[in-house]
Amino acid sequence: MLTPPPLSLYVHIPWCVRKCPYCDFNSHENKTGGALPFQAYVDALLADLDFDLPLVWGRTVHSVFFGGGTPSLMPPEFIERFLQGASARLRFAPGCEITLETNPGTAEHGRFELYRAAGVNRLSFGIQSFDDGCLQRLGRIHDSAEAEAAVKLAQDAGLDNLNLDLMYALPQQSLAMAERDLERAFALQPAHVSHYQLTLEPNTLFAARPPSGIPDEDNSWDMQEHCQALLSAAGYGQYEVSAYARPGRQCTHNLNYWRYGDYLGIGAGAHGKLTLGAEQAVLRRWKHKHPATFLAHAGSDAALGGDERIPSERRPFEFMLNALRLVEGFSVAEFEARTGLALAAIEAPLQAAYTAGWLDRTGERIRPTELGRRFTNDVVALFLDD
């Protein structure tokens, strides 16, 4: 039987200063450099939330995540207005984690105090690298000095729950350069580090025109293993494929995704996933991607990009696609509650994974092995419904 899991709220801010050549997210350059319609966009976000509210009556929100785009382009007063409106419509859990993705190139002195006053209690900085050459090749709008200054400004403002995003296997990056990136990150003492490999996603500039000097598979794997050891030695425990945290500082919002939890997706191009207990159904819903279309139709059916009820035979794949990214894996009870299926429904692929040495079961908990974490895509593919 499907049991509604914890609920999160994802809020998409679609604008950025400049589209990065590796980015495949729904982000739109502010090409004119003029004022963005934040007042109207907050109105649209609240209308969008009102439209989705009947799907989550009575449920508590455990985390809020402002993603993008570049959410830190939105001034604090608009973040505050949205949060006030959202908390008037939904019950926020005590100590609700509220994250704002932040581009160091948009940080301004004094603004972090205002974001904190607005209710933001966690920042995720898109650093990517502390090497100025790498940053230029990635098309970032900040340099390493601006990155360090932005993090210190946030800390001075009393925000200590900080994530730093770093990438490795960058164009013309060596193992020593990847190590120096982590050393500079450690010096800033963040609570959390996201460390992930550059990938050439379809429909990006890098996919159409790959940059030179990208490390090959063997060198990329060497970087990953070496950096994992450095992160562990510095006190950052790996709890997901690319996520490392100090004790007690794992990201509540992302953990909910990976545990196949529920989330409302609000804003242009936002995706949501909801468990409908009365219908015993899992619903995926997404909104129109273009900001102008979303602004024109928010709060109505016309703002929907689509709705889909996930058939029961596809739920094991969706569940594993998330849960097998976690070092902790999942419990039998979690699988059955989140998918509405008995574990027996996936006995054959589970046995294949045990035999290959990709998964291990201890009591009621099933975890990916070290080998399984290296071949996550292969493990997950076992659970595809043919």
- The edge-to-edge listing of strands for the beta sheet with 237-240 is 237-240, 243-245, 192-197, 162-168, 122-128, 91-102, 60-68, 7-13, 262-266, 271-276, 281-287, 304-309
- Provide the token pair at 249: 């500082």
Distance CA 51, CA 300 (A): 7
Distance CA 336, CA 344 (A): 10
Q: Give the type of residue at 94.
A: P
pLDDT in tens, 173-217: 999 999 999 999 999 999 999 999 999 999 899 989 999 999 999
pLDDT in tens, 258-297: 999 999 999 999 999 999 988 999 999 999 999 999 999 9
User: Would the CATH topology of 7-256 be identical to that of 313-381?
Assistant: no
Alpha helix ranges (H) inside the chain: 38-52, 76-89, 111-118, 132-137, 144-156, 175-187, 205-208, 217-233, 252-258, 291-297, 315-323, 332-339, 347-356, 370-374, 376-381
Position 9 scores a pLDDT of: 98
φ, ψ of residue 146 to 5 degrees: the values are: -65, -35
Position 32 scores a pLDDT of: 75
Residue with tokens 């593919």: 381
Q: Give the type of residue at 272.
A: G
Residues 27, 281: contact at Cβ < 8 Å?
Answer: no
Residues 53, 91: contact at Cβ < 8 Å?
Answer: no
Summary mean pLDDT of the chain: 95
Position 41 scores a pLDDT of: 98
Q: At what angle do helices 315-323 and 332-339 cross, to 10 degrees?
A: 130
The CA-atom distances, in angstroms, between 161 and each of 116, 150, 260 are: 11, 14, 24
Instruction: Give me the mean pLDDT over the 38-45 stretch.
Output: 98
> Is the CATH number of domain 7-256 3.20.20.70?
yes
Distance CA 235, CA 193 (A): 11
Neighbouring residues of 276: CB distance < 8 A, sequence distance ≥ 6: 2, 55, 282, 283
Confidence of residue 110 (pLDDT cuts 50, 70, 90): low
The CA-atom distances, in angstroms, between 199 and each of 24, 64, 216, 224, 323 are: 10, 27, 12, 14, 21
Q: Give burial (CB, 10 Å; 0-12/13-18/19+) of 102.
A: buried
Task: State percent of the chain over pLDDT 70.
Answer: 99
Instruction: Give me the mean pLDDT over the 43-47 stretch.
Output: 98
- Residue 166 DSSP code: E
The CA-atom distances, in angstroms, between 185 and each of 131, 175, 201 are: 12, 16, 26
Instruction: Give me the mean pLDDT over the 46-74 stretch.
Output: 96
Class of domain 313-381 as given by CATH:
mainly alpha
pLDDT in tens, 335-385: 999 999 999 999 999 999 999 999 999 999 999 999 999 899 999 999 997
Q: Please say if the pLDDT value at position 256 is more than 60.
A: yes
Task: State percent of the chain over pLDDT 90.
Answer: 93
pLDDT in tens, 6-30: 999 999 999 999 899 999 899 998 8
Pairing type for strands 122-128 and 162-168 reads parallel
Position 33 scores a pLDDT of: 73
Distance CA 379, CA 368 (A): 9
Nearest to 144 by CA among 113, 112, 188, 114: 188
Pairing type for strands 237-240 and 15-16 reads unpaired
Position 109 scores a pLDDT of: 57
Q: Please say if the pLDDT value at position 386 is more than 70.
A: no
Instruction: Give me the mean pLDDT over the 138-148 stretch.
Output: 94
| Domain definitions of the chain by residue range | 7-256, 313-381
Instruction: Give me the mean pLDDT over the 151-180 stretch.
Output: 97
Q: Is the pTM of this model over 0.75?
A: yes
Distance CA 332, CA 342 (A): 9
What sign does the CA torsion over 63, 64, 67, 70 have?
Answer: negative
